Protein backbone atom coordinates (compact mmCIF):
# COMPACT_ATOMS: atom_id res chain seq x y z
CA UNK A 1 0.00 0.00 0.00
CA UNK A 2 1.34 3.37 -0.93
CA UNK A 3 1.06 6.58 0.99
CA UNK A 4 -1.49 7.94 -1.52
CA UNK A 5 -3.77 4.93 -0.98
CA UNK A 6 -3.56 5.30 2.81
CA UNK A 7 -4.41 9.02 2.58
CA UNK A 8 -7.38 8.29 0.31
CA UNK A 9 -8.65 5.61 2.71
CA UNK A 10 -8.26 7.94 5.71
CA UNK A 11 -10.14 10.69 3.86
CA UNK A 12 -13.07 8.38 3.14
CA UNK A 13 -13.05 7.10 6.71
CA UNK A 14 -13.04 10.62 8.18
CA UNK A 15 -15.95 11.71 5.95
CA UNK A 16 -17.95 8.71 7.16
CA UNK A 17 -17.13 9.42 10.80
CA UNK A 18 -18.15 13.08 10.49
CA UNK A 19 -21.47 12.00 8.98
CA UNK A 20 -22.07 9.57 11.86
CA UNK A 21 -21.14 12.15 14.51
CA UNK A 22 -23.64 14.60 13.02
CA UNK A 23 -26.41 12.04 13.75
CA UNK A 24 -25.66 11.87 17.49
CA UNK A 25 -27.95 14.77 18.53
CA UNK A 26 -30.83 13.22 16.62
CA UNK A 27 -30.21 9.86 18.28
CA UNK A 28 -30.08 11.55 21.69
CA UNK A 29 -33.39 13.26 21.02
CA UNK A 30 -34.94 9.92 20.05
CA UNK A 31 -33.74 8.29 23.26
CA UNK A 32 -35.05 11.23 25.32
CA UNK A 33 -38.45 11.19 23.59
CA UNK A 34 -38.77 7.41 23.88
CA UNK A 35 -37.97 7.45 27.59
CA UNK A 36 -40.47 10.19 28.36
CA UNK A 37 -43.18 8.71 26.13
CA UNK A 38 -42.92 5.25 27.71
CA UNK A 39 -42.95 6.81 31.19
CA UNK A 40 -46.03 8.87 30.30
CA UNK A 41 -47.78 5.79 28.93
CA UNK A 42 -47.04 3.93 32.17
CA UNK A 43 -48.41 6.78 34.31
CA UNK A 44 -51.59 7.04 32.20
CA UNK A 45 -52.16 3.28 32.35
CA UNK A 46 -51.51 3.33 36.12
CA UNK A 47 -54.23 5.96 36.63
CA UNK A 48 -56.70 4.03 34.44
CA UNK A 49 -56.09 0.93 36.55
CA UNK A 50 -56.63 2.95 39.76
CA UNK A 51 -59.96 4.16 38.37
CA UNK A 52 -60.98 0.63 37.33
CA UNK A 53 -60.08 -0.59 40.82
CA UNK A 54 -62.16 2.17 42.44
CA UNK A 55 -65.16 1.22 40.30
CA UNK A 56 -64.67 -2.52 40.87
CA UNK A 57 -64.41 -2.29 44.66
CA UNK A 58 -67.20 0.25 45.18
CA UNK A 59 -70.62 -0.70 46.46
CA UNK A 60 -73.19 -0.97 43.64
CA UNK A 61 -75.14 1.93 45.17
CA UNK A 62 -72.02 4.15 45.24
CA UNK A 63 -70.70 5.64 41.99
CA UNK A 64 -67.00 6.56 42.38
CA UNK A 65 -66.92 8.20 38.94
CA UNK A 66 -69.56 10.72 39.98
CA UNK A 67 -66.91 12.29 42.20
CA UNK A 68 -63.95 11.61 39.89
CA UNK A 69 -62.73 15.21 40.13
CA UNK A 70 -62.38 14.75 43.89
CA UNK A 71 -60.99 11.21 43.81
CA UNK A 72 -58.56 11.77 40.94
CA UNK A 73 -57.59 15.47 40.85
CA UNK A 74 -55.37 17.00 38.17
CA UNK A 75 -51.67 16.77 38.98
CA UNK A 76 -49.53 19.51 37.40
CA UNK A 77 -46.50 17.57 38.63
CA UNK A 78 -46.65 13.89 39.57
CA UNK A 79 -44.88 12.79 42.75
CA UNK A 80 -41.13 12.09 42.51
CA UNK A 81 -39.39 10.43 40.73
CA UNK A 82 -41.84 11.42 37.97
CA UNK A 83 -41.86 15.18 38.68
CA UNK A 84 -41.46 16.12 35.00
CA UNK A 85 -44.87 14.62 34.19
CA UNK A 86 -48.33 16.13 34.65
CA UNK A 87 -51.53 14.07 34.73
CA UNK A 88 -55.23 14.84 34.33
CA UNK A 89 -58.40 12.72 34.30
CA UNK A 90 -61.62 13.56 32.48
CA UNK A 91 -64.85 11.56 32.86
CA UNK A 92 -67.58 12.06 30.30
CA UNK A 93 -71.06 10.54 30.49
CA UNK A 94 -72.00 8.48 27.43
CA UNK A 95 -75.72 8.11 28.11
CA UNK A 96 -76.76 8.34 24.46
CA UNK A 97 -74.97 5.91 22.23
CA UNK A 98 -75.22 5.08 18.55
CA UNK A 99 -78.68 5.17 16.99
CA UNK A 100 -80.14 6.73 20.13
CA UNK A 101 -79.59 3.60 22.26
CA UNK A 102 -79.60 4.49 25.96
CA UNK A 103 -76.77 3.03 28.04
CA UNK A 104 -77.05 4.49 31.53
CA UNK A 105 -73.93 4.52 33.64
CA UNK A 106 -71.41 4.13 30.81
CA UNK A 107 -68.67 6.74 30.92
CA UNK A 108 -65.63 7.52 28.85
CA UNK A 109 -62.55 7.98 31.03
CA UNK A 110 -59.64 9.84 29.45
CA UNK A 111 -56.25 10.19 31.13
CA UNK A 112 -53.75 12.66 29.67
CA UNK A 113 -50.12 12.74 30.79
CA UNK A 114 -47.87 15.59 29.66
CA UNK A 115 -44.09 15.60 29.58
CA UNK A 116 -41.40 18.07 28.45
CA UNK A 117 -40.57 18.03 24.77
CA UNK A 118 -36.95 17.72 23.76
CA UNK A 119 -35.07 20.96 23.22
CA UNK A 120 -31.90 21.42 21.20
CA UNK A 121 -28.55 21.61 22.98
CA UNK A 122 -29.88 21.42 26.55
CA UNK A 123 -32.13 24.48 26.28
CA UNK A 124 -35.33 24.63 28.28
CA UNK A 125 -38.23 22.84 26.54
CA UNK A 126 -40.52 25.20 24.62
CA UNK A 127 -43.65 23.07 24.90
CA UNK A 128 -44.95 19.82 26.34
CA UNK A 129 -45.95 16.64 24.54
CA UNK A 130 -48.83 14.46 25.72
CA UNK A 131 -49.93 10.84 25.84
CA UNK A 132 -53.69 10.25 26.04
CA UNK A 133 -55.34 6.95 26.96
CA UNK A 134 -59.10 6.51 26.93
CA UNK A 135 -61.46 3.70 27.89
CA UNK A 136 -65.13 3.10 28.60
CA UNK A 137 -66.30 2.00 32.04
CA UNK A 138 -69.82 0.80 32.75
CA UNK A 139 -71.76 -0.14 35.85
CA UNK A 140 -71.15 -3.49 37.50
SS3 (DSSP) at 108: strand
| 105 touches 65 (CB < 8 A) | no
pLDDT tens, position by position, for the chain (140 residues)?
A: 798 888 888 898 888 888 888 888 877 888 888 889 999 999 999 999 998 888 877 776 677 676 666 678 888 888 888 888 999 999 888 776 666 666 777 888 999 999 988 765 666 667 889 999 999 887 76
Neighbours of 98 (CB within 10 A): 6
Per domain, the residue ranges of the chain are 3-137
DSSP-derived secondary structure letter, 25: H
Q: In b/e form, how buried is each residue of 60-83, taking b as 16+ CB within 10 angstroms?
A: eeeebbeebeeebeebeebeeebe
122: left (phi over 0), alpha (psi -120 to 50) or beta: left
| Dihedral angle of Cα 38, 49, 88, 82, to the nearest 10 degrees | -40
Distance CA 48, CA 32 (A): 25
* H helix intervals, 1-140: 3-22, 24-57, 68-71
Amino acid sequence: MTLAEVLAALTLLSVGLVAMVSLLPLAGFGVHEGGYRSGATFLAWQRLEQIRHAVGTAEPSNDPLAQAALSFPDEPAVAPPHGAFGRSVRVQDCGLGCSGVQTPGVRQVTVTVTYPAGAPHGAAPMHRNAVTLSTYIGPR
